[in-house]
Chains A and B, each alone.
Chain A
């Protein structure tokens, strides 16, 4: 059965607005300024003979002179004393840890250029997120400070030490409080340093707060089970996952880890065993997780509490008040179905909620206890230590500072002047503190208010450790000497507390050898090599829930009531910017949001019908006025799937002191966050009003149109179980014609191909950043993205399809969509799209200079130095994956995002050419990795093994959605994957014979879930 469902890349396409139709027909987003150049003086008048001759003469002369130019002399400067392990041309790999996740750092001649996956990483060894991939760029950030700053002036460390120690002694003498403010520290050594510091200065207290907080869950677990911890969630053990606005595949707690767990029950391997988990998502804004859910039900923020009460009642048979959703029949129906299925899947189900409200999380605990999640899908005994922040403590800190009780405050990996919910209250209070020290690498919002900035190195220049989970210990080791005159915060604290061991390396080592080694058994040197070590995990206990829920229900109902006014505003973290700490990373700024495909901006998202109702058009600038009176102007994005009556705004934007790339991008949404009942609330309300202005968002969506061809194929799990080839179109094979009947080109050696599992790909985008870093792909900036000139070799296309709630089936004709009352019932497919390396590549036949040709191992080669930039190939590419260099992005002052200086250029991969202006480029299937892998095998005189060569995108993918290998090797993983019945090739009907196979999207929906929408 072939699906005849209709997919849209964006709402413009489905609506077929005149603008879209017109722009789609044009090759260029904007008309080329040919007329301007050849204006009246040019076109209407005849060029005078003298001018012509002058131009000719000048041209000839210039060319001759240019040809006479001497070849520049290249210097070659070897090491004076070459480190034994460094051989120029051969990369070295070192283990390290990024934000608690173990990674492998690739260095060339001593400079880190790429983050890979640490194969010893255990639960985290499947992939890395976009943040980790982009993090190498932060090392080479020119916006960083080069020396410590004391009272706004560059200073030496001895001056800083003298000043800080003097002030600390004064603070101690006065008996006033000293506060160390940090985001969660999951490093045992750093924690020990803080403890040591507190021992020397006894009035010290460590205040941990996270800009995006998980205090609600921690407190709820304390209340329910007496364990103030963030549990370890086991999505891999859950056959049924119900999430209430928890974006667990993206930003919630540990996205990459959960992705790997989640996908293990849904990918091609699991489907081959005829097994697939089921996922319901109830949420307000369209999150990455929501797009992957089998059934997604939009609910208002105010409906989340009542929905959970309803679910609780349905599962336990209780009849608590407040459990009614009078205005959302779909949610009501869905909840009844979910309750039924949860009871059927006791011990194999998991309910999570993204709320930071203690009461809500207590109720979730009650539900999870009722369905037997504790001990199976939720593990309270091997707690997660990623987030330990306490919102109330930070709130209390501001009061303390206001009362003048605090004499010294240290900011470590925290930036409250930007991300505190009331930055003004914070800065006013801070002014009353005598000693303000910031450990930061740049003069950010908070550092700017401090008298001392003790500049810290990047994690790639630091020693350290991390303890992400109870018993899971990983190491941070430097891969380069500190580039600037920086000093680790921990070392500074050790020096200021006159510690016995002041060298932080020695300190970390001592911590390991005295406190940790005993439980894990690995020596320090072994740990340096492995990067990770684990103690035997404790057995997860089953916990019973026996709290009275009355107060909880009352609190939930009250909060829900409070939200029922104006527009309910949902403030969330998005995949690329997260909490805004890495806002100056150009790779992240240009990473399109997985759902809206917006780059370089945040926006206010409204449902299509909502916008229509309020009379707003897409890209209208709206004033969003929060409860606290804070208001910002944001462009409007129309987002199908957004719940009616709600709006969403992403956090992490609007930095003003982040650096060149990150300053003044978007607007700060942290002030919309509210504080109540001891925790931060990301659900609030706002009033909207139009400003009359309009600003086009830089979206990568709809830039590359497929003209409505059938490129996504999907099936329901039920159909798949009956017939694995369901939906793939494999029943009817197109007859294969060959252009070259006489001269066949057999692939004698390897045949490099790829298989992409659409059921595994969550659309998170870490592959895009990995590809950018690996292949020196330039960041082009907001203006250029608007002109559709983004350079990403790999993009992830997001397609919407709609369900007709009245007719009770999927929309298969364009005409039907107009009759839809509600665009809530949207389902989404993510499709990574890259050069398909077609065997009959249309780009190759049209190149006038043979710059793009086919290789004997199945790759479509692109010789940049041969390309003259006709762009015929891009025009003839059915997949629109070719990118044209309009500028020398890496050396042009107009694109001063990040790479336009020699320092940042150190991040470039020396094995990949930086492309020049006027040249076409596209995915090379990481040919540098293929060649390197082959050479390694040749040097070792062995056959090439499957898995020796990994693509940059493949190794970054936590979901293992991308499988690369040699099709000629029948035992290779890719050959097996391509033999799957689910495989189809995009646009195979045009006989281009692509080298990238896609596996159909399978949705675990059935008549009952469809019933929800009916």
Chain B
């Protein structure tokens, strides 16, 4: 009960703030403006501006509140023209950074107004969301405990009821005058010892035991050195779910080597900075997200001054998830470029899926990355045996090879194996 009241108190507070905000907004502006403004802001401004902190461009909320709309609209649309016209405020503003702001001639006045409206208010603070989250958490843990309690309770009830039923049965039997012979126990004990003396039974049980343990052992041995599901703790809690899943960042954006090199390449920190110079996931208390701060620490970036300090650089030591032994050669480009069609077909990927999914699994749903495939030789070989690469018939590199092959073995399915893809030296050298 205490918990519930506590939760109510929390949510009440956030509900109040939400209500207050809504009231304020509905008083001053149309809600429509805010939603449209937010979309426009994300599309056009967010790559250089943050609302409350300086970035490539200055923090927007204070600026928007400071300046007149009549100044802001021409500035946003074409700041260069405004500066050229000799507007003092504009000239003043242009001194913020040597990087000149882009012009947005296509934005209508209304659109710009929407942006201004949104930027003035900014994002409703996340307090509400935090409150809700706490409620959620409480509920979920509560429900689990509740479920467990109910289960235990029902077991207890069942046992008690069962006993009661037995007692009642006995009482009824007693009343009916039937004598109860307590010989079952004796016979059970006798039966058990008899069973142990029964050689067939003993043999059979031992056999069962051996088979069960043996198969567990056998399976265990197959799993030795196989690390499917390996999910080490990474130095930065990077979420593929957020990046590849929700934000739909293309795999290649970060793993740019996969399409040209044997290595898919872990992105260097400067690639992270392309977005995270602006995307800082500001916390409730106004601080930058701890995980994003780790990128800054690695590359020696100070978000306050927006400067890089080479002396503070410290490379990020990721933990390698997919470990192939040194004696196995694997080339990403061979698979994601040359073999793409075959792999898609073999693994039944949707056209919208990146080909990477075939081996790396649903990365876009993984909070932290884990090894999806066993990466065993059997696993490699199976694909090399089965994949249909007949799409290569018209590929200049394969034309002669496949033509020669067709001459000798007509109509056989063309797989990597048929073209030598199972030979030791193709991967081990």
The answer to whether A binds B is yes
Which A positions have Cβ atoms within 8 angstroms of B?
Answer: 67, 71, 73-82, 87-90, 746, 748-749, 851, 853, 855-857, 859, 861-866, 911-914, 924, 927-928, 931, 934-935, 937-939, 941-944
Q: Which of B182-228 contact A (CB under 8 A)?
A: 224-225, 227
A78 and B260 in contact (CB under 8 A), knowing A856-B420, A913-B326, A931-B329?
no
B428 partner residues in chain A, CB cutoff 8 A: 861, 863-866, 913
A864-B429 Cα distance, complex, nearest whole Å: 8
The distance in angstroms between the C-alpha atoms of A655 and B316, with both chains bound, is: 44
Contact B261 A87 (CB under 8 A): yes
Instruction: Tell me, in angstroms, the Cα distance from A79 to B257 when the chains sit together.
Output: 13
B390-429 vs A, CB cutoff 8 Å, 1 = contact: the mask equals: 0000011101110011001000000000011001111011
Query: Please, which residues of chain B bring their CB within 8 A of the CB of A79?
Result: 268-269, 315
Instruction: Pick the contact of A75: B318, B326, B338, B425 (CB < 8 A).
Output: B318
Closest B-chain residue to A914, C-beta based?
Answer: B326
B396/A924 in contact, CB under 8 A:
no
A82-B268, A89-B261, A856-B420 in contact; A931/B426 too (CB < 8 A)?
yes
Taking a contact as CB atoms closer than 8 A, the residue among B256, B299, B334, B424 that contacts A863 in the complex is B424
B327 in the interface (beta carbon within 8 A): yes
Chain A binding surface, main DSSP class: loop
Q: What chain A residues lie within 8 Å of B425 (beta carbons)?
A: 855, 859, 861-863, 924, 927
Chain B 303-324, CB-CB to A under 8 Å as 1, else 0, gives: 0000000000101111110010
Which residue of the partner chain, among A76, A87, A746, A937, contacts B320 with CB atoms under 8 Å? A76
- Tell me whether A911 and B337 are in contact in the complex, defined as CB-CB below 8 angstroms, given that A80-B268, A81-B270, A82-B270 are known contacts: no
A913 near B266 with CB under 8 A, answer no
Residues of B within 8 A of A748 (CB): 401, 404-405, 408, 419
User: Of B315, B334, B408, which contacts A935 at CB under 8 A?
Assistant: B334
User: B267 on the interface (CB 8 Å rule)?
Assistant: yes
Taken together as a complex, chains A and B put the C-alpha atoms of A944 and B316 apart, in Å, by 40
Closest to A911 in B: B329
Contacts of B269 in A (CB 8 A): 78-81
Contact A76 B319 (CB under 8 A): yes
What CA separation (Å) do A468 and B251 show in the bound complex? Answer: 50
B264-295 interface with A by 8 A CB criterion: 265-271
The smallest C-beta distance from B333 to any residue of chain A, in angstroms, reads 6
Whether B419 contacts A937 by the Cβ 8 Å rule is no
Q: Quick one: which of A76, A746, A856, A912 has the most chain B CB within 10 A?
A: A76
Which of B263, B267, B320, B337 touches A939 (beta carbons < 8 Å)?
B337
How many Å lie between the Cα of A645 and that of B21 in the bound state? 110
CB-CB under 8 A from B263, the residues of chain A are 87-89
Q: Given the complex, which residues of B lie within 8 Å of A942, measured CB to CB?
A: 396-397
A80 touches B270 (CB 8 A): yes
Q: How far is the CA of A226 from the CA of B323 in the complex (A)?
A: 69
CB pair A90 B260 closer than 8 Å: yes
Taking a contact as CB atoms under 8 Å apart, the answer to whether B399 and A78 are in contact is no
B232: Cβ under 8 A from any A Cβ: yes
Closest to B269 in A: A80
Tell yes or no: B231 within 8 A of A by CB.
Answer: no
Assuming the contacts A89-B261, A941-B396, asked whether A76 and B266 have C-beta atoms less than 8 A apart, the reply is yes
Judge whether A78 and B315 touch: CB under 8 Å.
yes
Chain B residues near A914 (CB-CB < 8 A): 326
Ranked 9 nearest A-B pairs via Cβ: A861-B425, A89-B261, A89-B263, A82-B268, A863-B424, A74-B320, A79-B268, A89-B262, A749-B401
User: Most A CB atoms within 10 A — which of B268, B269, B326, B397?
Assistant: B397
* B48: interface (CB < 8 Å): no
Q: Are B395 and A73 closer than 8 Å at their CB atoms?
A: no
**Nearest CB of B to A640, in Å:** 40
Find B429's partner among A88, A857, A928 (CB 8 Å cutoff): A928
- How far apart are the CA atoms of A193 and B401 in the complex, in Å? 59
Partner of A78, one of B265, B419, B429: B265
CA distance A938 to B333 in the complex (A): 10
**Additional A-B contacts beyond A79-B268, A87-B263, A89-B261 (8; CB < 8 A):** A77-B315, A81-B270, A82-B271, A89-B262, A748-B419, A861-B423, A862-B425, A941-B395
Partner of A856, one of B260, B397, B419: B419
Chain B neighbourhood of A82, CB < 8 A: 268, 270-271
11 contacts across the A-B interface (CB closer than 8 A): A76-B318, A77-B315, A78-B269, A88-B265, A749-B420, A855-B423, A928-B329, A939-B333, A939-B338, A942-B397, A943-B400
The main secondary structure of chain B at its interface with chain A is loop
The distance in angstroms between the C-alpha atoms of A734 and B56, with both chains bound, is 80
A927 to B425, alpha carbons, bound, how many Å? 8
Q: Which residues of B contact A78 (CB under 8 A)?
A: 265-269, 315-316, 318
Q: How large is the interface on B (under 10, 10 to 19, 20 to 34, 35 or more residues)?
A: 35 or more
Quick one: given A863-B424, A865-B325, A943-B397, are A749 and B419 in contact (CB under 8 Å)?
A: yes
A71 touches B329 (CB 8 A): no
A373 CB, min distance to chain B CBs, angstroms? 50
B373 within 8 A of A: no
- The answer to whether the Cβ of B331 comes within 8 Å of any Cβ in the partner chain is yes
A935 to B225, CA, bound (A): 30
Q: In the bound complex, do residue A927 and residue B429 qualify as a contact, i.e. CB atoms below 8 Å apart?
A: yes
Distance from A571 Cβ to chain B, minimum over Cβ atoms (Å): 44
B357 at the interface (CB under 8 A from A): no
B228 → chain A closest CB, angstroms? 13
Among the listed B261, B318, B323, B338, which residue makes an inter-chain contact with A71, where contact means beta carbons less than 8 Å apart?
Answer: B323
Tell me, yes or no, whether B135 is within 8 Å of chain A by CB.
no
Judge whether B396 and A935 touch: CB under 8 Å.
Answer: no
Cβ contacts under 8 Å, B257 to chain A: 87-90
Q: Return the chain A residue nearest B298 by Cβ.
A: A80
* A863 (CB) vs chain B CBs: closest residue: B424
Q: Which of B62-95 contact A (CB under 8 A)?
A: none
Find out whether the CB atom of B327 lies under 8 angstroms from the CB atom of A80: no
List the B side residues contacting A857 at CB < 8 Å: 420
Tell me the complex Cα distance, A746–B420, Å: 12
Instruction: Determine whether the beta carbon of B397 is less than 8 Å from that of A938.
Output: yes
CA distance A264 to B69 in the complex (A): 82
The reply to whether A75 and B397 contact each other, CB–CB distance below 8 Å, is no
Q: Provide the residues of chain A in CB contact with B429, threshold 8 Å.
A: 861, 911-913, 924, 927-928, 931
- Min CB distance A743 to B, Å, is 12
**A855 contact set on B, CB distance < 8 A:** 420, 423-426
A77 contact set on B, CB distance < 8 A: 315-318
Distance between A740 CB and nearest chain B CB, rounded to angstroms: 15
Expressed in whole angstroms, the Cα–Cα distance for A749 and B334 within the complex equals: 18
Is there contact, CB below 8 Å, between A74 and B408?
no
Smallest Cβ distance from A110 to chain B, in angstroms? 13
**Which listed residue, B260, B396, B401, B405, touches A87 by the CB 8 Å rule?**
B260
- Interchain nearest-CB distance for A998 vs B (Å): 24
Residues of A with C-beta under 8 A to B315: 77-80
Q: Complex formed: what's the CA distance from A864 to B326 in Å?
A: 11
Q: Which residues of B contact A76 (CB under 8 A)?
A: 266, 317-320
Q: Are A865 and B268 in contact (CB under 8 A)?
A: no
Name the distance in Å between A837's Cβ and chain B's nearest Cβ: 11
Q: Does B423 contact A856, Cβ atoms closer than 8 Å?
A: yes
Given A73-B232, A88-B261, A941-B395, CB of A81 within 8 Å of CB of B299: yes
Whether A75 and B317, one on each chain, are in contact in the complex, defined by CB atoms closer than 8 angstroms, is yes
Q: Tell me, in angstroms, the Cα distance from A594 to B413 when the chains sit together.
A: 52
Shortest beta-carbon distance from B314 to chain A in Å? 8
Complex CA–CA separation, A866 to B337 (angstroms): 30
Complex: A748 Cα to B412 Cα, angstroms: 14
Q: Could you tell me the distance between the alpha carbons of A931 and B332 in the complex, rounded to whole angstroms?
A: 13
CB distance from A67 to the nearest CB of B (A): 7
Q: A856-B423, A943-B399 are in contact. Are A746 and B408 (CB under 8 A)?
A: yes
Q: How far is the CA of A67 from the CA of B298 in the complex (A)?
A: 37
Q: Are B337 and A749 in contact (CB under 8 A)?
A: no
The answer for the CA separation of A252 and B428 in the assembled complex, in Å, is 42
* Partner among B261, B401, B404 whose Cβ is within 8 Å of the Cβ of A90: B261
Given known contacts A79-B268, A746-B408, A71 and B299 CB-to-CB distance under 8 angstroms: no
Q: Which of A90, A864, A938 has the most CB of B within 10 A?
A: A938
| A79-B327 Cα distance, complex, nearest whole Å | 24
